[in-house]
Every structure is written in structure tokens, then in C-alpha cells.
Structure 1
Amino acid sequence: MAENKPHTKHPAASAKNEDFDLQATADRAQDFYTRNKNVINIAVLAVVVIVGGYFGYTRFVKAPNEKKAQEAIFTAQNLFAVDSFKLALNGDGNNYGFLQVIDKYGGTKAGNLAKYSAGVCYVKLGEYQKGIDLLKEFSSGDLVVKSMANGLIGDAYMELNKADDAISYYKKAGADDNELLSPMYLFRAGLALEKSNKPKDAIAIYEQIKQKYPLSTEGGQMDKYLARLGVVK
């Protein structure tokens, strides 16, 4: 009696079945497209319009605006450099000041820089809240400039006798671990804490400066400030 052997699929048959499966998948895809082609075509067109519109905006609107904004801010920057803060803010009658640059080109890089510069002008002119508002609108990926903006906001709050707000911004300004700026702004936070009758918090700040920035100007003075708060080592 002949031995029954297990039935084994021939490789060609397997490949053929696989081809049939692939074909079936393609048929289903084609059928789906036929039934939904209007929706699909609209979606594809929308993507094309959005992408094309973005590149068109970048090339034909954004780039020219950036150039115009840089030209517009030039005179204001020169006035700012020689401490003519009122003229830098409002313009000289023939050229834009920072406020006009912000109004017309606020969404550009130059417009963003104008917010910082205008904020500085207002603080220098004693209009502290206006300075705070503009400095808060300013944004920067540069940690040094960001720290300076936060530190200036802290100074403005101190002038307005809002010590808690000042301390918050001094701490932000000192948080970026800059060897020059961090100990300076943390020191101001410590002084503000002393003024607010929070000696324990001030001691913590002074000890942080001493340990983390011992070679800084502020770091070399911390023993004196700690001693006056009763910490002698």
C-alpha cells in the first residue's frame, strides 16, 4: 500500500496565490478611489494649495517684509545707540521709530527686535509698565538677550515697588547659567528678598551664588552679605 505523504504546496503555487492577493488588494484600492475620488482629489488639491501658498508667502511677502523692516529700523537703532530714547521710540519725523516698526512690521524679526529695544527705551524713560509690556512680548532663542530682557523686567518691577514680581524675573534671568549675567541677576534677587523681609530666601540665593559662581564679582562678595544676615563661616 502506498504511503500517504503530506501535501506540500509547490513554490510556484504559493507565489501565484501571493500574486492573487496583491491583485485583490490593488482592486480594492482602485474601487475605494473610484467611490471616493472627489473627496480624495479635493484633499490633495488642498495640500498643494497650502504648501504652495506657504512657499509663495515666504518668498513674495515675508522675505520682502523682512528687508523693509530691517531698513525701517536702521535709524531707530542708531538713535538708540546714542541714548536718544524718545526719538528712537517715536522716530525723528522723517524715519520710523521702534513703535512704528512694531506697528507695521511686528511679525518680522526686525519687528521682534523693535519690541525689545522699545521696552528698553520705555524703562530708561521711566515708563516702567509700558517697558514691561513690550519686553514680555519680545521673544528670543538667544539665552543672553533673553536673560537681559527678563532682568530688565525685574528692574522695572522694582521701580514699581512690586518686589515679588521683580524677584520672579530676576530668578528667570539668572536661571540660564551664564557666568556673567546669572550671578548678577541672582544677586539682585537676593537684595530684593532682603528688602521684602525674606532673609532665609536671600541666604539661599547668596549661598547659591557663592558655590556656583565663586570667581564672579558677586561671588567674591557673598561672605559679606551672608554675614550681615547672620551666616558666618
Structure 2
Amino acid sequence: MATYKKRGYKPKKEKIVQEVEETFDETQSTTAEVFNNLDDAANKSEQWIENNSKPLFYGLVAVAVVILGYLAYNKLIAVPTEKTASNELAHPRVLFDEATTSAGVKADSLYTLALEGGVNGKYGFIDIASNFSGTKAGNIANYYAGISYLKMKDYKNAIKYLSDFSSDDALLGPTALGAIGDAFADIDQPEDALDYYQKAANLKKNNFTTPLFLFKAGQVAMNLKKYSKAETLFAQIKKDFADSDQGRDIEKYINSAKYAQ
């Protein structure tokens, strides 16, 4: 039998090759375009860097100066100053500790010495708080000064120095706020006292300062005839701090507030 080819017939292999070549040409074209775009972007970046080389250089120099300046300040000034302040704090703290175990005129005299210094040229808490205000020792000096004034019944100065003190410590921070509350209570500013007692209770919740200042806040609220608030404060002690010193007889205070309304 004779075989023949139809007019226009192309072998399948040639058709596949042609399709591959066409696809390859299209892919190759797209890839080339991408690389061309990348080249253009790189050229523009190089041109921008070249045009802005001086500002970039000065910017890097400025950053380096800031970093080196910080390191130099920290090593040559901050650390030695902190050490000096800490050493200065040791002397008035000894006087403060002695004053807390004394009474009457002797205690006041010791607190005064701790505050004002002067013994053998040593600084007191006031000088340390002023001259080393940016240090940890200067900050803690504010606390000791505030408590010293509170013990001496100089309430305005107690509030001043305690307000300048700040701490993240779980006990010291609330104690300072609570001491401000005590000072306001002693100068007959119960609204302010209530505010600071609540701040002290909520600052760092723990089993010691929180129930103590909740209880003080509750008592002030009772004196202000804010009986509902007092009941809420006392009830919080019962709920969360029943085993604390304030929680043992808290039920009677809750009832007093409840029936006073």
C-alpha cells in the first residue's frame, strides 16, 4: 500500500520544538527584563549614594560620636558618680537606723544629722538628693529624707521628698506612697490621704503592703462617711488577704461600713 503525506502536514516533534522555542523566547525575554530593571535600580542606588556621600558620611560620624560619647560618659562620669553617691549614703543611713531605735529628743537629733550631715564633712540625705539627683543613691536619699521628716512631724517636707522618690520595688514603692498618705492624714487632708492609700495598695500587690493600705484607705473612707467605698475596700481584704493581720478581724469593719449606710 502506498503511503502519502497530507499537504501542510508537520511532524509532531517539530511542532513541540517550535512551542518550546516560543515559550523559551518569552521566558528569556521576561527574565532579561527583570535583570534590566534590577540593573536600573542598582544604578540609581549607586547614583544616589554617590550624590549623597557627604551627608551619609557625616551622619555615620554623628552616630559614632553619640555612641562613643555615651560610652565615655557612662565609664568616666556616670559610674564613678554613682559609686561616690553610694559611698556618701552609707553615713546618714547609719544615723537613720540608729534614730529608728531611739525616741524623743535623741531620735529627732539623729534624724536631723542624717538629713543635714555635717559630721566630719559628711553629706546628709538632703545634700545627696540634691547633688546626686541623677543617681540611684540620690533617688533613695529622697525616700530616707521623706521618712525622716515624717518621723519628725514635718509633713510638708515629708511629702516633698517622698514625691521626688520613685521605685519599682514591690515594698519600697508602695511604702513611699503610703507614707505620703500618712502625712496628708496628719495634716487633716483626708481626701488626699485616701487617694495615696489607694495608690499604695494598687501599685504592687503583695501580702504585706496591699492589705495594710487597703485598711488605712477604708478607715479614712469611714471618716469621710464614704461608707460604700469603705465596705468595698474592707471586702477586698476579706476576699484576697484574709490571712493578713488586717484580714483577721475584717468582718466587723465590713459590718460597720454596711450598717452605717
Larger Rg: 2
Query: Deviation of residue 166 (structure 1)?
Result: 0.7
Matched to 2:233, the amino acid is: I
Structure 2 residue runs of 5 or longer lacking an equivalent are 1-7, 100-109
Query: Deviation of residue 225 (structure 1)?
Result: 1.5
* Partner residue, 1:5: 19
* Partner residue, 1:58: 74
The superposition leaves residues 180-229 of structure 1 with CA deviations (integer Å, 9 ceiling, x where unpaired) of 11111100001101111211111111111111111111111111222333
* Partner residue, 1:139: 166
Matched to 1:42, the amino acid is: Y
The superposition leaves residues 4-61 of structure 1 with CA deviations (integer Å, 9 ceiling, x where unpaired) of 6372236777666554443332221111012122222221111111111111111111
Question: RMSD over aligned Cα, in angstroms?
Answer: 2.1
Equivalence map 1:34-113=2 (5 Å): 34-83=50-99, 84-93=110-119, 94-113=121-140
Query: Deviation of residue 141 (structure 1)?
Result: 1.5
Matched to 1:68, the amino acid is: T
* Partner residue, 1:23: 39
Which of 183, 187, 191 is 2:211 aligned to? 183
**Deviates further, 157-166 or 16-25:** 16-25
* Partner residue, 1:117: 144
**SS of structure 2 residue aligned to 1:140:** coil
Runs of 4+ that moved beyond 2 A: 1-26, 226-232
Query: Deviation of residue 87 (structure 1)?
Result: 0.7
**SS of structure 2 residue aligned to 1:174:** helix
Structure 1 residue runs of 5 or longer lacking an equivalent are none
Aligned-partner Cα distance in 2 for 1:15–1:48: 42
Query: Deviation of residue 230 (structure 1)?
Result: 4.4
Contact 2:222–2:257 (8 Å) recurs in 1: no
Aligned length: 232
Aligned-partner Cα distance in 1 for 2:249–2:70: 55
